[in-house]
Amino acid sequence: MTPEPCARIGIDIGGTSTEALMLNDRGSIEAEVQLDTEPGIEAVLDTVERAVAILSERSGRSLSDFVSLGIGIPGQVDHERGIVRHAYNIGVDELALASAVQGRIGIPVSLDNDVTAAAIGAAQLMQLDGSVAYLNLGTGIAAGFVIDGQPMRGAHGVTGEIGHLAIDPRGRACPCGQRGCLETVASGSALRSFWRADANGRLLMSELAAGDPGAEDAFEALVTGAATAVRLLVLTLDPHTVVIGGGLRMLGAPLLDGIRDTLDAWAAASPFLANLNMSARILPLPANSPAAAVGAALSYRG
């Protein structure tokens, strides 16, 4: 079989692992690889280069068969200039990542915030029209937006940083310097700070199953915070769909049901909110959907 002429690579660089995949020109995933993320500029560049080599090998394509490489990365991303700033959890303060990668592998590179990339990928994978808000419940909490197929990247690369909206003047101090940020309530880092230092989605699930009261309180706080985020997204952008994704999505149906029940309880107390049909707008990202890597692959516009 003759290789497709316009295969695209998408890479999602996360705090712990890097997911890379190759889309053929029908948009299907043809090869995938997952690598550990090592912190620091050189390590990140090496990992990207290694991922591309593995995708090339697994797909039987040469580098010249790839028309573009898109990268999703946490931090403040200047998409136009291909620069990422403040990507602290991968040990990068500021880096012209697009040109650095392009220099190494010779393919045009585009850069997006990972949550924006996930919003692009979710809209594509779930075939969502209209306006889509993607709510990422992971180590932090943030959102990405796609309106009629167009990602909203904002003026300074901070679109959807809703984790640092203060929702309670008497809330917990946030590492960002504010108090009562949404992220201090509804995020993996919040679970670790107010429940258990070793908290993650899997542990929370097993402790919930075991009936641990602390786990139930933590879960309740997470659900309320996530519902707060959905209300915020609906009252700001009024999207057709709010996709729930991120690492804590693994909590599954109880998480989704909990968010919907919370929104419905609020609606029952407020005719204004009832009118918004908030819970009906929510959809979970399907399990094992590499939304950010797919979105990164689709993000490049040559």
Residues in contact with a copy of itself by CB under 8 A are 76, 86, 130-131, 143, 147, 152-162, 164-170, 176-178, 228, 231-240, 266, 269-273, 275-277, 281
Nearest to 12 by CA among 40, 42, 44: 44
Q: Smallest distance, Å, CB 187 to a copy of itself?
A: 15
Distance CA 59, CA 25 (A): 13
Q: Smallest distance, Å, CB 19 to a copy of itself?
A: 26
Q: Smallest distance, Å, CB 111 to a copy of itself?
A: 16
Q: For residues 6 and 235, which CB has a smaller minimum distance to a copy of itself in the complex? A: 235
Q: For residues 57 and 238, which CB has a smaller minimum distance to a copy of itself in the complex? A: 238
Angle at 45 between CA 41 and CA 46, to 5 degrees: 115
Q: Smallest distance, Å, CB 238 to a copy of itself?
A: 3
What are the angstrom distances between the C-alpha of 229 and each of 44, 57, 74, 235? 31, 42, 19, 10
Distance CA 101, CA 248 (A): 31
Q: Smallest distance, Å, CB 83 to a copy of itself?
A: 14
Q: For residues 107 and 233, which CB has a smaller minimum distance to a copy of itself in the complex? A: 233
Q: For residues 63 and 283, which CB has a smaller minimum distance to a copy of itself in the complex? A: 283
Q: Smallest distance, Å, CB 276 to a copy of itself?
A: 6
Q: Smallest distance, Å, CB 268 to a copy of itself?
A: 9
Q: Which residues contact 59 (CB under 8 A, 6 or more apart)?
A: 3, 7, 22, 30, 31
Q: Which residues contact 272 (CB under 8 A, 6 or more apart)?
A: none
What sign has the CA pseudo-torsion 172, 197, 243, 6?
positive
Q: For residues 242 and 293, which CB has a smaller minimum distance to a copy of itself in the complex? A: 242
Q: What pairing do the DSSP bridges indicate for beta strands 7-13 and 17-23?
A: antiparallel
Question: Does an H or E element contain 293, and which?
Answer: helix 291-299
Q: For residues 61 and 281, which CB has a smaller minimum distance to a copy of itself in the complex? A: 281
Q: For residues 6 and 268, which CB has a smaller minimum distance to a copy of itself in the complex? A: 268
Residue 195 CA to its chain's centroid (Å):
23
